[in-house]
Amino acid sequence: MHISQFLAFLGTLAAVNACLLPGEAEGGHLHAKRRASSAPTVPIHAGDRFEGGAVAPRGLGSQPAGTKIGVLMNTVEIKSAVRGLVRQFGIQMFTTPDKTSQGATMFGGKVGNGLDCDDAYRVYLTAGVHARERGASDNLIYFISDLLWAQRLGTGLTYGNMKYTHDDVLIVLSTGIIFMPLVNPDGVKYDQATGNCWRKNRNPSGAVDLNRNFDFLWDYETAFAPNLDTPPASSDPDEVIYHGTSAFSEPETRNVKWVMDKYPKLRWYVDLHSYSGSVLYPWGDDTNQVSDPKQSFTNPDYDGKRGKIPDTSGHKYKEYITKPDWDAAKNVATKVASGMKSAAKRKYDARQSAYLYPSSGTSADYAFSRSVANGNLNKLYGFTIEFGFGGPDIYCSFYPSVDQFHDSILETGAGFMEFLLTASQEGLGSSRECPSEGPSCPAS
| Residue 20 confidence class, pLDDT cut points 50, 70, 90 | confident
pLDDT of residue 5: 46
* Per-domain residue ranges of the chain: 23-426
pLDDT in tens, 86-137: 999 999 999 999 999 999 999 999 999 999 999 999 999 999 999 999 999 9
Burial class (CB in 10 A: 0-12, 13-18, 19+), 388: buried
Q: What is the pLDDT of residue 429?
A: 95
pTM: 0.93
Q: Say what the pLDDT of residue 435 is.
A: 80
pLDDT digits (tens, 9 = 90+) for 201-251: 999 999 999 999 999 999 999 999 999 999 999 999 999 999 999 999 999
**Counting Cβ atoms within 10 Å, is residue 312 exposed (0-12), middle (13-18) or buried (19+)?**
exposed
Q: Residues with catalytic annotation?
A: 386
**Model pLDDT, residue 30:** 46
On average, the pLDDT of the chain sits at 92
Model confidence at 32: pLDDT above 60:
no
Q: How does residue 22 score in pLDDT terms, banded at 50, 70 and 90?
A: low
37: left (phi over 0), alpha (psi -120 to 50) or beta: beta
DSSP-derived secondary structure for 123-170: EEEEE-SSTT-TTHHHHHHHHHHHHHHHHHHT--EEETTEEE-HHHHH
Q: What is the pLDDT of residues 250-294, one digit of tens each?
A: 999 999 999 999 999 999 999 999 999 999 999 999 999 999 999
- Residue 44 predicted with pLDDT over 60: yes
pLDDT computed for residue 27 by the predictor = 54
Q: Which percentage of the chain shows pLDDT scores above 70?
A: 90
23-426 CATH fold: Aminopeptidase (3.40.630)
In the chain, what's the furthest Cα-to-Cα distance? 62
For range 318-340, the mean pLDDT: 98
Distance CA 264, CA 441 (A): 14
Has residue 140 got a pLDDT over 60?
A: yes
Tens digit of each residue's pLDDT (9 = 90 or more) over 159-206 = 999 999 999 999 999 999 999 999 999 999 999 999 999 999 999 999
Kindly tell me if the per-residue pLDDT of 16 is higher than 50: no
Q: Provide the 10 A C-beta neighbour count for residue 255.
A: 23
